[in-house]
Structure 1
Amino acid sequence: MAQTAFDKSERRTWAGQADAYAASFAKLCAYPVPALLRAAEVREGARVLDVGTGTGTAAAAACERGAKVTAVDAEPGMVARAAQAAPEADVRLAALPRLPFADDAFDAVVGNFVLNHVGRPRETLKELRRVTRPGGRIAVTIWQVPPAAGQALLGRAVQRAGVARPAHLPALAPEDDFPRTEQGFVALLGEAGLLNGVCDPLVWGHRTTREEWWSGAAAGVATIGQIVTSQPPGVIAEIKEHFDSLCAEFADPDGVLVLPHAALIAHGQV
């Protein structure tokens, strides 16, 4: 299946961003990994695929459990970082919606937020099901919608500056989207043919600094970063002013930001 306009935009968005992501948003995205591995029943000797591995956090954690881990990502910089983080894993360059593996190749598949970055989430889950053996488990995470207050911080700063999403960053096609709720996520798993689908919310306060959080946006990481960096310097400065003002809502007495985030973790059986 051909890549969508959304898929192509994601490839451009993440090109060359591995280091900036590792220095900003990677620690946030690592939080669900223990729960993700538990949901997929990753254990010693299991053949595990970590799809959209990013900097390799889930792959490394699965290796620590004694699993036989394969990890893939569409961005070469991420592949290089993941290979360093999980030297025992087989880390490869590969892009959804098609994976270079045989049917039934894995006992478990995990995808940490990868469904947020694909143009056809249903087809992606069907592909993950294809490479998972009968009886195997698939566990995936997405960001909840509407977002928690901490997740919305950068977006609020952008809105206060009067900035709209640029045309070169296409949104997911309506026919490919799904409700980012517990019920909507379970329904998506069922539509992809997974059995016994379960979804649980995951809520936490991410501790970071103002400088670290702004650095991701300032470097163009993710969609929010692409929105920020596509603006003229004066507008970027205005966004930064609004960001600094809004940070006061989340700062503890020491000035550390505690940003509430909410994700959904779902799992099903093949």
Structure 2
Amino acid sequence: MTNAEAYDRGFAHLSSHTVGPLLAQAREKGALGLLDVGCGTGVVTAAALALGAEVTAVDADPGMLELTARRHPYATIRPATLPDLPFGDEQFDAIAGNFVINHVPDTTKALKEFHRVLRPGGTIALTWWKADEMTATNVFADAIIAAEVPYDPPPRPFTANDTPQRFTELLEKAGFEEAAVDTVRWRHQVDLATWWTNIVQAGGPRFAMIASQPPETVERIRAHYTRLAAPYAREGFPVCAYLAHATR
């Protein structure tokens, strides 16, 4: 299984819950040209195509792009590393970004770039995790710490902008109108053993270090994960995300 396939089975499944709300504004306005930023393995692209949109999908990861292109031949697939976009001004009716803005090093520049490529009246919708209510992934960090393994996750530049009030202000400063942020909560129901496998195989900046440990250390981390995740086996992990939406 490739990293992209593991991501698709794990994180993409987790994030798919917000796809409907993410596309709601674009669907209501009948947006034809939609830009899926940070498309990953294509969960937003698939839903937008099903709505009849002409989808352009971008991501920085070649493996993600290859998987999305193979699954969705009717979408236009382009490599792009945010905050920069390889498009001219006013090219899209809508932009959707599912859990990508929290990975962009310069939030302000990204929002200005999104504003640039949107047509007047176009819509934007972006989601990000509420970090302190992300039990589904925080349980891995807690397991690493409980196993007494040195753990130095990468810094989160987006933390300075991740409150609804702050992000609304940034959208308005970038030129957007009718900016608002909604809270979305759900339970992520998943087999705990499968969840472990998919997150560890997908790696990523926070948890790639698990698979690189000696086998006995991996098993020690897994034992703590199993213990910490057990209370959520039946009802699922509680998850919380923010969804920002605005109009150009």
> Normalising by the residue count of structure 2, what TM-score does the alignment of the two structures yield?
0.91
Indicate conservation of the 8 Å contact 1:121/1:177, yes or no: no
**Structure 1 residues 165 and 155, CA gap change in structure 2 (3 angstroms):** same
How far residue 17 of structure 1 moved from its aligned partner, in angstroms, is: 2.0
Indicate conservation of the 8 Å contact 2:33/2:54, yes or no: yes
| SS at 1:62 equivalent | helix
User: Within 1, Cα distance between the matches of 2:224 and 2:42?
Assistant: 33
Q: Deviations over 1:176-198 (max 9, x none)?
A: 64242322332232233322211
Match of 1:24 in 2: 10
User: Within 2, Cα distance between the matches of 1:129 and 1:165?
Assistant: 38
Query: Which structure 2 residue ranges, 5 or more long, are not aligned?
Result: none
Q: Deviations over 1:223-254 (max 9, x none)?
A: 332232343333222111100111221112xx
Aligned AA for 1:202?
Answer: V
User: Within 2, Cα distance between the matches of 1:171 and 1:228?
Assistant: 18
Q: Deviations over 1:154-185 (max 9, x none)?
A: 1221221233433xx53134xx6424232233
Two-structure CA RMSD over aligned residues (Å): 2.0
1:114 and 2:96 matched: no
Match of 1:75 in 2: 61
Indicate conservation of the 8 Å contact 1:37/1:62, yes or no: yes
Residue 265 of structure 1: which of 225, 243, 247 is its match? 243
1:139 and 2:125 matched: yes
How far residue 202 of structure 1 moved from its aligned partner, in angstroms, is: 0.6
**Structure 1 residues 160 and 191, CA gap change in structure 2 (3 angstroms):** farther
Q: Among the aligned pairs, what percent are the same residue?
A: 38
> Normalising by the residue count of structure 1, what TM-score does the alignment of the two structures yield?
0.84
User: Within 2, Cα distance between the matches of 1:128 and 1:164?
Assistant: 38
The farther-off stretch of 41-50 and 18-27 is 41-50
**Structure 1 residues 131 and 74, CA gap change in structure 2 (3 angstroms):** same
1:235 and 2:217 matched: yes
How far residue 44 of structure 1 moved from its aligned partner, in angstroms, is: 4.7
**Structure 1 residues 80 and 246, CA gap change in structure 2 (3 angstroms):** same
User: Within 2, Cα distance between the matches of 1:122 and 1:68?
Assistant: 27
Greater helix share, 1 or 2?
A: 2
Aligned AA for 1:228?
Answer: I
User: Within 2, Cα distance between the matches of 1:220 and 1:85?
Assistant: 19
1:244 and 2:230 matched: no
**Structure 1 residues 37 and 45, CA gap change in structure 2 (3 angstroms):** closer
Residue 77 of structure 2: which of 65, 88, 91 is its match? 91
